[in-house]
Amino acid sequence: MTPLALTMGEPAGIGGEIALGAWRALRGSGLAFVLLDDADRFDGLPVRRVASPEEAGAVFASALPILHRPLPRLPVPGRPDPANAPAVIAAINEAVALAKARRVAGVVTNPIQKSALYAAGFAHPGHTEYLAELAGTGVPPVMLLACPQLRVVPVTVHEPLARAIARLTPDLIVRAARTTATALRSDFGIAAPRLAVAGLNPHAGEDGTLGTEDREIVAPAVAALRAEGIEARGPFPPDTLFTAHARPGYDAAICLYHDQALIPIKTLDMAGGVNVTLGLSIVRTSPDHGTALDIAGTGRADPSSLVAALRLAAEIARNRAR
């Protein structure tokens, strides 16, 4: 199989450690990836410089293949340096270019430290928005979080809750759900996706007595989706939507704000959750955690989420190829 590209992420974070941990977990699996990073910071470890991603498969069983991309400054664990931000961004750019050229099967991004990138002039809120600029398809990108027990999509993401609620419209919900349904078919191999749409208020508004948003915003979005032939139901009371009894009834839950989506999936599987960007021309996944500056360099970083992200990226690439 064509290898995946893994970006360096924040050099002062745990990206290098979990990359090695993921290589150790996957080196006998047949799933190969190449890391875009500074090979000098892996001295004494089982890594090998390669000149192209096409060489990754041949060396993967014995060493982590690295496309050597030097950093301006040697990173200090736990202390991000804006001087390294251009190299972090360049690794993302190159990985996307390799995926668009089909030299890699997809891109897996290690976590970035946004504050360090902002200090260097990075003008995007985060990975998702930047990737949409590099590999967009004309539809707004959608964040999907996945683990074996649950898939969730937040309609609004990184914004204050009051602003997120004020921004909700039927059209915003429909656009996110439509992109989700398309991706469930093409990327996850689900022929007839079933979407469950969460309510906003307790008890999904209790017929308007606990807020009218569910009746005036969410219900019309569900009706519009069904009119398009998408199997969507709701709004469902959020406090029961994620129970073990409810989860088998849908393929993805459309949630209305960040924490409504991320609290249940991180509670169910903090170590194995994966962030997937829908609506791109390339495959992109990421571990569902941050840079973990507080434990960087201590050897305590858990590579489980990165392993899951690599496996899911490979699965999505296979489904798209079919």
Residue set of the binding site for substrate: 127-128, 266, 275, 284
Question: Which residues have C-beta within 8 Å of that of residue 7, sequence separation ≥ 6?
Answer: 36, 88, 91, 92, 95, 107, 108, 109, 110
Burial class of residue 126, CB neighbours in 10 A (0-12, 13-18, 19+): middle
DSSP 93-124: HHHHHHHHTTSSS-EE-----HHHHHHTT--S
Alpha helical stretches, state H, the chain: 15-26, 56-59, 85-100, 114-119, 127-135, 161-167, 170-186, 213, 219-227, 238-241, 258-269, 304-321
CA dihedral (84, 85, 91, 94) in degrees, to 10, reads -120
CA 197 → CA 29, 87, 158, 223, 235, distances in Å?
37, 40, 19, 11, 5
Binding residues are 127-128, 158, 203, 258, 266, 275, 284
Binding residues for a divalent metal cation are 158, 203, 258
